[in-house]
């Protein structure tokens, strides 16, 4: 199901021509309206006249999160205050948050992007969506909310928390789709089961549009099985727009990037040079249509790749792979580079263990010490010491064999670890000299 078929199925030739026209206009506009870009482009010796093809974008300097922090609060805005309809900002202490503004046209375009992916999840005018992302300065709640209204859906603005009520209304209101973080979706599913429901059979819901944090394939499967839904991974970040920059279609083979609105690049994190399609690297975005807070070559720190080839769904937008990790959340443990997603994949390969976990990093002497807290499934015989010890040894061995890191596994009873209603806090880094 397509929300804007004329855009979503545009020929690659027409799409790239549209991108080029918008890119030229963007570079000219930001160099005139935003002092940061005027200075940045001047230092790099580039200007709008240097844009003759899309590949010329690689000549331009990057924009980083620190650049946005340095511009706090409104030095990256390209329009006067009278045209600013809304402001969002990332978490951070006063003076260090990244601030993003939106004109009404920006908000409409954002709504369109999210609506496209609700349609991909078979949610149109007859659908009811439950938004369990947090509302407020975080872009998740309002992004999904206005995207749902743009798609013509009935929107249930639950926000986070009060999980038992989330479950009750999901059941009573015949909700079609849930929008929230993966960890909270799993929490909702578990609470529903605790309340005596079998969501896969008792609920009307058929889709979950999940984002704001990584979700392993195993965690996705657990959510799909417990809720009886198809999970759609949606991607976005507040600096670029919010959720809706890219999302999976019904094929679930990569996330279609809204290329009429954004140019995606994948660069080598070390050399910062673009890499060919299919190779992993850091995701870089350029906003083509944002009026208030346009960005040129913003380094997201997210690790992904462009999936080569066309999607069988008929959409012509290129696809990025699901986020494998972040350059800034990669842990270096005793000289080994490890992403939390890699650890999660090992955890969920054990049927006796749930997807709930926490890593506690400390130092012992001069060495890193990694403790992994994991929960057993409810029906695991926790009082059988030998089985517990074997499970501990097997998981430690799997982590050692596959990731080359020594981990001290501690197995705890079900519901011991704190549940998340937003982004899950998986890592507690207490290592000396790193803060």
What does the pLDDT look like over 308-317, one tens digit per residue?
999 999 999 9
What does the pLDDT look like over 197-225, one tens digit per residue?
999 999 999 999 999 887 878 789 999 99
402 or 279, which is more confident? 279
Answer with the one of 328, 351, 378 that is the final residue of a domain.
328
With a pLDDT cut of 90, the percent of the chain lying above it is: 76
- pLDDT at residue 366 tops 70: no
Residue that is written with structure tokens 């249509």 in the block: 289
Answer with the one of 288, 305, 328 that is the final residue of a domain.
328
Q: Are residues 109 and 149 in the same domain?
A: yes
Q: Are residues 308 and 347 in the same domain?
A: no
- Mean pLDDT over 121-138 rounds to 95
61 or 426, which is more confident? 61
How many domains are there within the chain?
A: 2
The answer to whether position 346 is within a domain reads yes
| Residues in contact with 75: Cβ distance below 8 Å, sequence separation at least 6, in sequence order | 34, 35, 36
- List the Cα angle 152/4/19 in 5-degree steps: 135
Q: Are residues 228 and 207 in the same domain?
A: yes
Return the CATH number at 14. 3.40.50.12780
Decide if 259 contacts 251 (C-beta within 8 A): no
Element (H, E) at 99: strand 99-102
Mean pLDDT taken over the chain: 92
pLDDT of amino acid 225: 96
Q: Are residues 58 and 166 in the same domain?
A: yes
Q: Are residues 165 and 216 in the same domain?
A: yes
Q: Are residues 360 and 285 in the same domain?
A: no
Q: Assign residue 243 a region: left if phi > 0, alpha if psi is -120 to 50, beta otherwise?
A: beta
Q: Are residues 242 and 280 in the same domain?
A: yes
Number of C-alpha atoms within 13 angstroms, CB side, residue 119?
A: 19
The two tokens of residue 65 are: 């999160």
Model pTM greater than 0.85?
A: no
pLDDT of amino acid 355: 81
The parent domain of residue 65 ranges over 1-328
Q: How far is it, in rounded angstroms, from Cα 227 to Cα 208? A: 9
- pLDDT at residue 271 tops 70: yes
Q: Are residues 144 and 62 in the same domain?
A: yes
Of 219, 140, 141, the C-alpha closest to 185 is 219
Element (H, E) at 43: helix 35-44
Highest mean pLDDT range out of 152-166, 319-333, 335-349? Answer: 152-166
- pLDDT at residue 231 tops 70: yes
What does the pLDDT look like over 393-418, one tens digit per residue?
999 999 988 888 889 999 999 989 88
């Amino acid at each position: 199901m397509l929300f804007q078929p004329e855009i979503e199925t545009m020929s690659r030739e027409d799409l790239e021509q549209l991108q080029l026209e918008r890119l030229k206009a963007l570079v000219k506009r930001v160099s005139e309206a935003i002092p940061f870009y005027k200075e940045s482009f001047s230092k790099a010796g580039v200007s709008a006249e240097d844009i003759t093809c899309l590949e010329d974008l690689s000549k331009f300097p990057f924009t980083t999160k620190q650049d946005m922090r340095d511009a706090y609060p409104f030095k990256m805005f390209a329009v006067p205050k009278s045209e600013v309809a809304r402001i969002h900002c990332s978490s951070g202490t006063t003076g260090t948050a990244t601030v993003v503004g939106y004109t009404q046209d920006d908000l409409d375009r954002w709504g369109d992007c999210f609506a496209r992916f609700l349609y991909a999840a078979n949610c149109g005018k007859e659908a009811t969506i439950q938004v369990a992302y947090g509302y407020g300065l975080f872009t998740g709640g309002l992004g999904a909310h206005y995207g749902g209204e743009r798609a013509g859906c009935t929107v249930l603005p639950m926000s986070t928390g009060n999980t038992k009520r989330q479950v009750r209304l999901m059941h009573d209101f015949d909700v079609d789709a849930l929008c929230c973080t993966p960890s909270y979706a799993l929490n909702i599913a578990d609470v529903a089961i605790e309340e005596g429901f079998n969501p896969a059979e008792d609920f009307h819901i058929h889709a979950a549009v999940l984002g704001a944090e990584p979700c392993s394939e195993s965690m996705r499967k657990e959510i799909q099985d417990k809720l009886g839904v198809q999970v759609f991974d949606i991607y976005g970040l507040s600096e670029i727009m919010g959720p809706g920059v890219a999302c999976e279609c019904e094929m679930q083979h990569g996330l279609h990037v809204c290329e009429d609105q954004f140019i995606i690049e994948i660069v080598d994190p070390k050399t910062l040079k673009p890499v060919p399609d299919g190779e992993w690297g850091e995701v870089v975005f350029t906003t083509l249509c944002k009026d208030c807070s346009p960005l040129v070559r913003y380094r997201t720190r997210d690790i992904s790749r462009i999936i080569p080839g066309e999607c069988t769904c008929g959409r012509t937008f290129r696809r990025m792979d699901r986020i494998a990790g972040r350059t800034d959340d990669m842990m270096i443990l005793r000289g080994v580079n490890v992403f939390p997603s890699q650890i999660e994949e090992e955890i969920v390969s054990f049927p006796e263990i749930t997807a709930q976990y926490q890593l506690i990093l400390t130092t012992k002497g001069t060495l890193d010490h990694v403790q992994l807290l994991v929960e057993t499934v409810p029906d695991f015989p926790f009082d059988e010491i030998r089985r517990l010890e074997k499970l501990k040894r097997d998981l430690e061995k799997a982590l050692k064999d596959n990731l080359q890191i020594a981990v001290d596994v501690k197995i705890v009873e079900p519901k011991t670890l704190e549940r998340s209603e937003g982004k899950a806090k998986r890592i507690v880094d207490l290592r000396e000299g790193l803060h």
